Structure 1
Amino acid sequence: MDTREQAIDDTDVVIWHTIGVLHLPRPEDFPVMPVEYVGFTLKPVGFFERNPTLDPAPPICHT
């Protein structure tokens, strides 16, 4: 088990969402402006003790 394990029952869980969008307009963009994608991804920190993809299970061989 991870030593940082904490119970979240009856507590407020806070997620900090940081957005950074940069668009530098160019003369070539007028009159049609390009579309800028904006979104976010929730990525847990410390969910696994190590990367689970580094030790995959052996393949099952069906003959």
Structure 2
Amino acid sequence: MKAQSEAQQKAAGAALSAKRGKTPKSKLQGASKEMYETMTEKELEDMAATKHDKIPERKG
């Protein structure tokens, strides 16, 4: 699944970092914390890999 906004892509990157043990889970907040708990590493990789040039900064 591709990210629908830059904010979502960045949150996925933070959650992926925690999933891989590079960032403490306690540092996560908001969407990244929820993503960490509900998504697989593969799903997070796909979302974090979304290119910025074709998505808005924020959805809405």
Q: TM-score, normalised by structure 1?
A: 0.18
Higher Rg of the two aligned structures: 1
The structure with the greater share of residues assigned to helix is 2
